[in-house]
Structure 1
Amino acid sequence: MTLSTSHRPPLVEEVTAKLRELIHSGEWPLQQRIPAEPELMAALGVSRGTLREAVKALAHSGMLEVRRGDGTYVRATSEISGAARRMYRDHSQVHILEVRVGLDTQAARLAARHATDDDVAAMRALLATRRDAWLAGDFSAWAQADWDFHVFVAQASGNPLLHELYISFGAVFHADLLRQQGRAGFNGLPHEGHDELADAIAAHDEAAAVDSVQRNLNSCAEWIQQ
């Protein structure tokens, strides 16, 4: 039996799904501007109105940001990340850090259980990049490598939902790291939650991994409250 066209999802939903996949797959990277309307209309074979409705839906979810006169930018890789990104603007650094405690400790515990030798090697490579950037005074690269390390730990947990939730902290965490870096006495290369965590994960020591994370985040909390 041939399905009638009434069984197909509306065209706007189809286009929205295609744009969502371009973002989720990384073909349209975070913080980058997406192609202009004429290019997308030609590539997708749709009208301007249909394309704008699809973009509007993803902008409402927080995945895209439309800047009048400038273009449309990728702001999150999923609806979960987009919603979380909007929510974080309404909460304090302390509240955000308290939520991170739960995610970080669970990510560390599961990574110590599931991470492979290749995962550990990738973590150590990110820590080396982080160290070199800090020593070179490239604080933007330092903050990015620091965050990439934490995201990789979440990925190595083997729990894709935890990984996705963790990614949603990205913009907030990166901005906070750069803000803290400018304060006198800040240590940009703490071993807790980083080198020690990688060692614990390599040894598949869940308790040591959690302990390292907790000591690092307790130190962060003390620094924030100073």
Structure 2
Amino acid sequence: MPLATTRRTGLVDQVIAQLRQAVVQGEWRIGERIPTEPELATSLGVGRNTVREAVRALSHSGLLEVRQGDGTYVRATSEVSGAVRRLCGSELREVLQVRRTLEVEGARLAAAARTDEELANLRALMAARDEAQGAKRLDEFVRLDAEFHLAVIRCGHNGLLTELYRGLTEVVTASVAATTREGGVGGADIEHHDLVEAIADRDQDRAVAEAGGFLNELLTGLDLDPGELA
């Protein structure tokens, strides 16, 4: 990965910015080990202490994970996602709690603010998702389902909500995969056509009910108590 040589002021902040950019742009992927401290120091033209401080800061923010005696690995693609991973761990219940909080309001905003072009995009994503489901292409289905939910949030035109939700890409995708069981309960059995039509009709109350009901249906299928999400 080509890294630009840094200036001599604010070195730690510059290194943090470059390492973060490498992660966000996919130079280093989730679960991948990044170059060693000496390698980074040489590439960046800074001292090892500067690299160590930058890695420590990104580790505290949840972007990287330092494994003693093994190396440093990419943990998340954004600080928001990293923070959620630290808070939620592997608890699907907690991930669904966060999703419901954001997605219900996102659906309400989408019904109020969506454009015709955005509605067409939702329908295209829905069709592609259904086609992947019917063909039993699980990985593609999971990806498209997560993209659909992000597209709904974007329809609300609330920049902060969109960025918060986009930062949850990994955990949302993981929760879709975890609740998708081929031929059984979970995401593969839940369709979102009524949600799309509520957004098309600009019916905010119905959109809220559809978004909340979808997550409650997931909880019922997973033997979790929907009341826990209230």
> TM-score band (shorter)?
0.7 to 0.9
Gaps of 5+ in 1: 1-7
1:55 is aligned to: 55
1:197 is aligned to: 195
3-state DSSP of counterpart to 1:181: coil
1:128 matched to 2:127? The reply is: yes
Provide the rounded CA distance (Å) in 1 between the counterparts of 2:169 and 2:20.
19
Quick check: 212-221 or 8-17, which moved more?
8-17
Provide the rounded CA distance (Å) in 2 between the counterparts of 1:89 and 1:169.
13
2:152 is aligned to: 153
Provide the rounded CA distance (Å) in 1 between the counterparts of 2:210 and 2:146.
16
Provide the rounded CA distance (Å) in 1 between the counterparts of 2:70 and 2:132.
32
Question: Contact 2:150/2:165 (CA < 8 Å) preserved in 1?
Answer: yes
Question: Contact 1:108/1:209 (CA < 8 Å) preserved in 2?
Answer: yes
CA positional deviation for 1:73: 4.4
Using the size of structure 2 for normalisation, the TM-score is: 0.76
Q: How has the CA–CA distance of structure 1 residues 19 and 95 changed in structure 2, closer, same or farther, with 3 Å as cutoff?
A: closer
The aligned runs of 1:51-130 (5 Å cut-off) are 51-66=51-66, 72-89=72-89, 92-130=91-129
Q: How has the CA–CA distance of structure 1 residues 153 and 40 changed in structure 2, closer, same or farther, with 3 Å as cutoff?
A: farther
1:213 matched to 2:211? The reply is: yes
Provide the rounded CA distance (Å) in 1 between the counterparts of 2:28 and 2:152.
21
CA positional deviation for 1:155: 2.4
Q: How has the CA–CA distance of structure 1 residues 15 and 186 changed in structure 2, closer, same or farther, with 3 Å as cutoff?
A: same
Using the size of structure 1 for normalisation, the TM-score is: 0.77
Provide the rounded CA distance (Å) in 2 between the counterparts of 1:157 and 1:29.
31
CA positional deviation for 1:41: 4.4
2:4 is aligned to: none
CA positional deviation for 1:40: 4.8
The aligned runs of 1:154-173 (5 Å cut-off) are 154-173=153-172
* 1:85-111 CA-partner distances (Å, limit 9, x unpaired): 111117x43343233222111011111
3-state DSSP of counterpart to 2:179: helix
Provide the rounded CA distance (Å) in 1 between the counterparts of 2:116 and 2:189.
23
The aligned amino acid for 2:51 is: L
Q: How has the CA–CA distance of structure 1 residues 32 and 99 changed in structure 2, closer, same or farther, with 3 Å as cutoff?
A: closer
Quick check: 132-141 or 63-72, which moved more?
63-72
Question: Contact 2:61/2:82 (CA < 8 Å) preserved in 1?
Answer: yes
> Identical aligned pairs, as a percentage?
40
Provide the rounded CA distance (Å) in 2 between the counterparts of 1:156 and 1:108.
8
